[in-house]
Amino acid sequence: MRKYLQETVVSPYKIMAVDDDGGILDSLKVVLKRSGYDLVCYSNPLEAIERLKKEHFDLLLLDYIMDELHGDQVVSEIRQFDKNLYILLLTGHKDLAPPLETLKQLEIQGYCEKSNNFDQLLLLIESGLKSVDQMHIISKINEELKDKNDELEKAYLDTIEILRYTVEAKDPYTRGHSDRVSEYSVLIGNKMGLDETTIHILKIGGLFHDIGKIGIPDSILLKETKLDDEEYSQIKNHPAIGVHILGDAEIFKDIIPMVLHHHEKYDGRGYPKGLKGDDIPLVARIAAVADSFDAMTSKRTYRNALPVDTVIAEIEKCSGTQFDPKITDVFLDILKNDYKKIEEIQNKYK
């Protein structure tokens, strides 16, 4: 097989493309070079794997169906030595798209159908590189703050706060969302009598549970009409992207379960892992209730905030299916008998 290499260009990112179709590689070269990206192309996946072992790349564009090795096999090899490489899988047809379970297991950040129109791919590349960039910043700060004191840890948290505000600044209707989810989660945890360490995890985890949305294209995140299946599958990647961004930071290790699993459902029909019942981490089960409550009681471009009575009825309806019944009962008790605390949080982050 031929090996395709593009001449060195000045670029802040290094991207590799692997596809056994030379025509696709040639097209990618032209399109990405026009967009200012450095690109290295291989038609032989085994050669690509060897290159990745020796050299750092920021993002990999990988064909799913290849003669030598299928894309999932290539990713399986790569994940043995590189857990952080951002990977976009390319498919020739929607019917040939990789199973969702494959994407989850191999931590593949997204996929895109091949097309003569490269606009969607460029959007995904741009979003992916935003995540890569933020992960590099966090990794760098993590190294600098290793074995440092509480004052430096606060500086670290302040830096991550900037990333969180970047996410919420995209959509004025969700501004304050993470703050409220954090406080609602702490309110539930205190009512349950949880220990101080767990309360701290709920507080920090609530603040950063949606950090992965920085890697979702604005065209999807801010869409006012119903998402199609492909767009929804990309939205569902935000917990994994959040883990990808925060995963190298030692101080965030305890909140990773909350970031990754806050969209799991008690009956096992949630994502990204489809966990069920007590297999879902407790902090994530609490966040699921707090997150859904805030979504229902917040104004959106397509609807006003729902009345409290309607929200209470919906939470009662979803007890045992979407939500842990015990946590539901605790939160319903707060809503029905101590709503003043809820109003104080809402007023605080208007």
Do 326 and 186 have their domain in common? Answer: yes
- Which among 44, 59, 92 has a CA at the least distance from the CA of 241? 59
Statement to judge: residues 154 and 74 lie in one domain: no
Report the pLDDT value the prediction gives residue 6, as an integer from 0 to 100: 46
Residue 341 has phi, psi (to 5 degrees) of -65, -35
Q: Is the pLDDT of residue 255 over 60?
A: yes
CATH label of the domain that carries residue 259 = 1.10.3210.10
Report the pLDDT value the prediction gives residue 261, as an integer from 0 to 100: 97
Q: pTM of this prediction?
A: 0.63
**Domain assignment of residue 123, yes or no:** no
**Is residue 263 scored above 90 in pLDDT?**
yes
Banded pLDDT at 328 (limits 50, 70, 90): very high
Domain match, 154 and 275 both: yes
- Residues 284 and 181 grouped into a single domain: yes
User: Are residues 84 and 158 part of one domain?
Assistant: no
Q: Is the residue at 127 inside a domain?
A: no
> Which range is most confident: 19-23, 144-148, 314-318?
314-318
**58 or 104: whose pLDDT is higher?**
58
Q: What pLDDT does 307 receive?
A: 92
User: Where is the domain boundary, 116, 149, 174?
Assistant: 116
Phi and psi at 25, nearest 5°, equal -60, -40
Question: Which segment of 3-7, 29-33, 105-109, 247-251 scores lowest on mean pLDDT?
Answer: 3-7
Task: Please answer whether residues 26 and 67 qualify as being in contact, where contact means their C-beta atoms are separated by less than 8 angstroms.
Answer: no
Query: Does residue 168 share a domain with residue 103?
Result: no
d(CA 138, CA 14): 19
The lowest-confidence range among 89-98, 269-278, 285-294 is: 89-98
Same domain? 30 vs 104: yes
Residue range 35-58: average pLDDT?
90
Write down the pLDDT at residue 10: 53
69 & 203 share domain: no
pLDDT at 134: 82
Q: Is the dihedral of CA 110, 85, 36, 12 positive or negative?
A: positive
CATH, residue 55: 3.40.50.2300
Same domain, 234 and 337: yes
Share of the chain residues as helix, strand and coil, in percent rounded to the nearest 5: 60, 10, 35
**Same-domain pairing of 90 and 204:** no
More confident position, 61 or 96: 61
Which of 61, 86, 116 represents a domain boundary (last residue)? 116
DSSP string, 28-54: HHHHHHHTT-EEEEES-HHHHHHHHHH
What percent of the chain is predicted at pLDDT more than 90?
38
pLDDT at 126 over 90: no
The count of domains in the chain is 2
Let me know if 223 is a catalytic residue.
no
Same domain, 322 and 183: yes
Residue 304 lies in a domain: yes
In Å, how far are 108, 192, 236, 237 from 84, measured between CA atoms?
Answer: 10, 37, 19, 15
Q: Which of 29, 213, 265, 273 is catalytic?
A: 213
In this structure, is residue 125 part of a structural domain?
no
For residue 88, pLDDT over 80 is answered with: yes
Torsion of CA 292, 298, 303, 304, to 10 degrees: 130
d(CA 19, CA 21): 5
The reported pLDDT for the residue numbered 282 is 98
- 13 in a structural domain: yes
User: Which residue did the predictor score with more confidence, 241 or 153?
Assistant: 241
Q: In this predicted model, which residue has the larger pLDDT, 302 or 149?
A: 302
Residues 104 and 155 in one domain: no
Of 116, 146, 178, the last residue of a domain is 116
- Per-residue pLDDT band at 13 (split at 50, 70, 90): confident
Examine residue 129 and state whether it is found in any structural domain, yes or no: no
Domain of residue 237, residue span? 138-348
CA torsion, points 47, 52, 53, 58, in degrees to nearest 10?
180
Exposed/middle/buried for 36, CB within 10 Å: 0-12, 13-18, 19+? Answer: exposed
Query: How far apart are alpha carbons 332 and 218 in whole angstroms?
Result: 34
Residue 128 belongs to a domain: no
Q: What would the mean pLDDT of 106-129 be, rounded to a whole number?
A: 80
In a domain? residue 122 = no
